[in-house]
Structure 1
Amino acid sequence: MALAPNNAALRHRLIAPNSTAGSGDAAATGGLPSVSARPPVVGIAHLAVSLGIVLATDKYLKQAFVAASIKFPSALFGMFCIFSVLLVLDTVAPALAKAFMDFFEPATLFIQRWLPLFYVPSLVVLPLAVRDVPAASGLKICLITFGGWFASLAVAGYTALTVRKIVKTELIAAEPMGKPSAFATLEFWAWGAVFVASFATAFVNPTALGTTARTCLPFMLASTVLGYMVGSGLPSGIKKLLHPIICCALSANLSAVAYGYLSGSGIDAALGDYLTKVPSNPGAGDVLMGFLGSVILSFAFSMFKQRKLVKRHAAEIFTSIAIASTFSLYSTAILGRLIGLEPTLTISILPRCITVALALSIVSFFEGANTSLTAAVVVLTGLIGANFVQAAMDKLGLNDPIARGIGTASSAHGLGTAALSAKEPEALPFCAIAYALTGIFGSLICSSPAVRQSLVFIAG
């Protein structure tokens, strides 16, 4: 039985047409079906209610876990609960499970559409985060990041291939993956108007909304969103050099520079207002990162949708992810020790291959970690994967869609997944599954005190 069938043939077999993605005026409702399917007002209300419930659930779980002094990621617990509820409903009342999925689909598509923005704040404030990091240490971190990404890709990909040869499970059709809509011209004009009006307001009266952070929030948020929209619309050749995430980070930084110069407050103050990490005085970056918990909750829906695929290929998926996640954490600690990187910096970059939302939860288990550096290294790893993962897998001989999907997501999380799915939709379901499970497995093993102590010991 062939283990690595032709990709073009698999694309026809595995990917069903998506009848709703990117249609009509869905851009105005965050990825909802077109106007012909539902009135715009109803679609917007559906999005607002479903997304509001997800955000409220994440906030409630955070507060409950803090009150109970529980260090385990609250969003991850919520994700397990949602997934369990869906499984139970699917067993006793399948129609109710489908209705549950359909109700939250606008929220999950919204999160998917804007996902890269939730990673951006760490890049925007990177100048502040790395100010105290010596240049030599910075070079070591870059070496670990690039070399570690390639090693993790190889380990995950070859593990998947090895297990595939053992189990010899034939690929089956995956559930169609919904795609968010493209950006509409109206959205550009709306966000542009927000930027101009709020920038002028902040310049005239820096405390018009009570604090400088709140006053700067609208135009800094608008500049970030506009940068992402522009970056997303660039030709594919330019995107290889200027990824949409870099584009929106540069846009936000330029806005901070302009405001700091014109207002006389300086770039440091402007960046400090962008990400305050103070709930009572949020900046634009705090608003964006406030969605990270919702990203984790949304994993429950994507995993449930592909539950049949997960069950059929459980051996390949879970074995590869377990080995690759463990390898990524421990290889990072070992490399940091070997090349003499400071232990606190090594600990900060341990979850380099795990999505930002869970990477930040993981480093919160350790004392003295630089969370801004953590997020920046995670994004850098994703950018490396987005640009080089296909060429690297071709060189490594990873031609099987399962190996390519798992290898990409296990080494470069969401950004690598997005880059691969654009050209290899047959690997997308495995990317989506591995993207979620890699972070989940990493969080679970790092919640063990024995694992944390061993990583700290190795890092020095």
Structure 2
Amino acid sequence: MLVETLNGLKASGRPVLVHMWRKYVLVPFGTLLMMLLLYGINEIIKRTTINFPASVCLMLLMYGGLSLNSWLFGEHRTDVFLKYIEIPCGFALRWMNLYFTPPFVTLVLSDKVNVAEAFTIMAVFVVGYIFTFGFMAYFTWGLQLLLGTYKDHVEADEKDEECRISESNHNNSEQSSSTDKEEVAWEVKVRDFVLEWIDFFVYGLVFVAGLPVYFATGYEMPVQLAAAVLLFRACLLIPAKLRRVLHPILISFSLCLLVYYILSLIKGQNYFTCIRHYKTGRTYLTLFDSEAYREWPGAGDFLISLMDISIVSLSLSMYKYRGDLKRHFASVLPPIVVCAFMSFFIYPPLCYHLGISSARALGFTGRSVTMALGIPLVTALGGSTQLMAVTTIISGILGVLVGDFILFKVFRVRKHDFVSRGVSFGLNCGAVSTYYLTVVDPRAGAMSALSFTFYGTLMIVLSAIHPLVRIVQKLVGW
């Protein structure tokens, strides 16, 4: 009996050790290597005249490199590279939503907005959000009809769905009776329990260790980072149906503000000072620039640095569905160009003439651009990056919560039309909803990644042309 128990513990312990080795050794090592590569790319970009994010540059390079390698040497050899790339990239994608919480935490530091302007911003956001969904979906759908690509992929999807349903029913009829009678072994229960709670234990230790560091030295990063991860991880325990409403980004950042407030009260520290130290701007890209960034990195800087890895990781989804991207590229490009023109030349003056301040009106140019691209875009225009960051993430969260309802119920887009779905989400909701699509509809997720990448890239190019920037600034009274 004792031997069986020891063998059971050994069998349940091996997956835990593999989990720890992969998550706390291989993932950090792979992430560090990718950050070094991004740092090098950023240093090269800084010597040019274009302010372009290194993360998006590496995403495009990785997608192109994988596609070229597959074409030259075959997919089998490319899979060898993918096995190693997936270690840091897969982790970054799974935790991508966590990396979007810093702009919400620092929202308490933003300038106050009067009631009239706040309601105007809300109205412009809602109307523009719904309009963009419908317009881009119908535009993409019409192009597919014109080019003759719509009917083929819809019929193929319907056949695939019928085959999956038939195969599923066949397997269930054979296996249901035997599955019901099987009992899960105790060692499996132990393994699953440990894997479920090991992260809480690790980050709980970091939180406890960070408390004396914070109270003795005043450095907040360890305790704030541990609290952010623990609270976000706890929000993932909410049932899936409720998470569609109680989104982990919104719930975890609110709880983070509460925890940080309690800690600042205990230490006797000014709350706003505590939040300012949460994000000092000293990310991995500015880590060695101690003259411009004198304060140490905060928890927000750490999470924003990891967000760059998650942006790069979207190239894996684009590579996997590169055939669909190539086949439907002609249906995707025109909506991107039109959306860029509208966001750059129509959004800002419309917001300004409705009573929104010049800086916030310019901030709306990045409303549907992912943060990695939106920050350099809005900075080049002289707009409000805080408004851009918040509206971008809210756009993504709303895409997860109500995007499918707007698309399928309000505008009656067919669920099999992954091209229109991906383009609409990519041009309206950015990276947050793109991650959501990579889980529920991978082909639409690939289309979304392609859309927001090319759209953001085009916006960056426009913002690098100084005469165009001056035109937009004059449209908002500057």
Fold shared by both chains (TM-score > 0.5): yes
- 2:299 & 2:20 partners in 1: Cα distance? 27
Contact persistence 2:221–2:299 (CA under 8 A): yes
- 2:396 & 2:138 partners in 1: Cα distance? 20
Contact persistence 1:155–1:324 (CA under 8 A): no
Q: State the AA in 1 paired with 2:79.
A: K
Q: Does 1:336 align with 2:316?
A: no
Equivalent in the alignment of 1:53 = 33
Q: Pick from 238, 242, 256 the counterpart of residue 246 of structure 2.
A: 242
Counting aligned pairs with the same residue, the percent is 20
Equivalent in the alignment of 2:122 = 142
Equivalent in the alignment of 1:199 = 211
Equivalent in the alignment of 2:228 = 224
Q: State the AA in 1 paired with 2:147.
A: V
- 2:433 & 2:104 partners in 1: Cα distance? 17
- 2:21 & 2:201 partners in 1: Cα distance? 20
Q: Which structure would you say has the larger Rg?
A: 2
Q: Residue 312 of structure 1: CA displacement? A: 1.0
Equivalent in the alignment of 2:281 = 277
Equivalent in the alignment of 1:156 = 136
Q: Pick from 377, 382, 391 the counterpart of residue 391 of structure 2.
A: 377
Q: Deviations over 1:49-85 (max 9, x none)?
A: 4322211111222233335564233333333333333
Equivalent in the alignment of 2:309 = 294
Contact persistence 2:308–2:372 (CA under 8 A): yes
- 2:419 & 2:100 partners in 1: Cα distance? 26
- 1:64 & 1:420 partners in 2: Cα distance? 33
Q: Deviations over 1:180-217 (max 9, x none)?
A: x99821112222232233124423x1x1xxxx3xx211
Contact persistence 2:93–2:435 (CA under 8 A): no
Q: Deviations over 1:107-151 (max 9, x none)?
A: 21111011112211110010102x343333332222222222112
Q: State the AA in 2 paired with 1:397.
A: R
Q: Residue 440 of structure 1: CA displacement? A: 3.1
Q: Pick from 429, 440, 453 the counterpart of residue 412 of structure 1.
A: 429
Contact persistence 1:223–1:251 (CA under 8 A): no
Contact persistence 2:92–2:307 (CA under 8 A): no
- 1:80 & 1:328 partners in 2: Cα distance? 23
Structure 2, unaligned stretches of length 5 or more? 1-12, 161-191, 291-295
- 1:151 & 1:331 partners in 2: Cα distance? 13
Contact persistence 1:72–1:447 (CA under 8 A): no
Q: Deviations over 1:79-111 (max 9, x none)?
A: 333333333322322354333322211121111
- SS of residue matched to 1:365: helix
Equivalent in the alignment of 1:388 = 402
Q: State the AA in 1 paired with 2:474.
A: F
- 2:55 & 2:345 partners in 1: Cα distance? 25
- 1:233 & 1:418 partners in 2: Cα distance? 19
- SS of residue matched to 2:413: coil
Q: Does 1:436 align with 2:448?
A: no
Q: Residue 284 of structure 1: CA displacement? A: 0.3
C-alpha change, 1:41 and 1:73, in structure 2 (3 Å) is: closer
Equivalent in the alignment of 2:183 = none
Q: State the AA in 2 paired with 1:157.
A: A
- 2:67 & 2:438 partners in 1: Cα distance? 27
Contact persistence 1:146–1:381 (CA under 8 A): no
- SS of residue matched to 2:281: coil
Q: State the AA in 2 paired with 1:186.
A: I
Contact persistence 2:221–2:278 (CA under 8 A): yes
Equivalent in the alignment of 2:101 = 120
Q: TM-score, normalised by structure 1?
A: 0.81
- SS of residue matched to 1:349: helix
- SS of residue matched to 1:364: helix
- 1:254 & 1:110 partners in 2: Cα distance? 27
Q: Deviations over 1:195-240 (max 9, x none)?
A: 233124423x1x1xxxx3xx21111111111221122221244324
- SS of residue matched to 2:386: helix
Equivalent in the alignment of 2:87 = 106
C-alpha change, 1:104 and 1:361, in structure 2 (3 Å) is: same
- SS of residue matched to 2:68: helix
C-alpha change, 1:37 and 1:226, in structure 2 (3 Å) is: closer
Q: Does 1:446 align with 2:450?
A: no
Q: TM-score, normalised by structure 2?
A: 0.78
Equivalent in the alignment of 1:84 = 64
Contact persistence 1:152–1:328 (CA under 8 A): no
